[in-house]
Every structure is written in C-alpha cells, then in structure tokens.
Amino acid sequence: MIPFIVNPVAGGGKAYRKISEIEKIMKEKLIDYKIFITKYAEEGEVLARKAAFSSINL
C-alpha cells in the first residue's frame, strides 16, 4: 500500500486539490493506496514516521 499524506493547507491547498487526480491514476494502475489528510500541525510528520517504522498500517 502506498500512503499519500496530504496537508490541506500547505501550498495554498494545491496538494489537496490534486487528490482526485491521484485517486484516478492509482485506480487506473490498480495500485493499492490510501490518502491521509492531516488535521493538525505536525500530524504529517507523525504519520510519515509511523509509515517508515511499520508495514504502513496507519
């Protein structure tokens, strides 16, 4: 599974607006993925550390 960690505020919301494009590509390629949208400051770092030190079961 490939995790995508998205901060909806970063870059003026640019990454957040790309979610539908990411979903379309991953589904077309039949790639297992999950999108995590951060809810608070520093959550992206927490999620990335969990993914790095686990089998990506966030």
Domain boundaries, the chain: 8-52
Q: Look up residue 28 and give its two tokens.
A: 């077309």
- Phi first, then psi: give them for residue 35, nearest 5 degrees: -105, 125
pLDDT of residue 24: 98
Q: How confident is the model at residue 1 (pLDDT cuts 50, 70, 90)?
A: confident
Q: Which residues have a Cβ under 8 Å from the Cβ of 26 and sit 6 or more positions away?
A: 2, 33
pTM of the model: 0.81
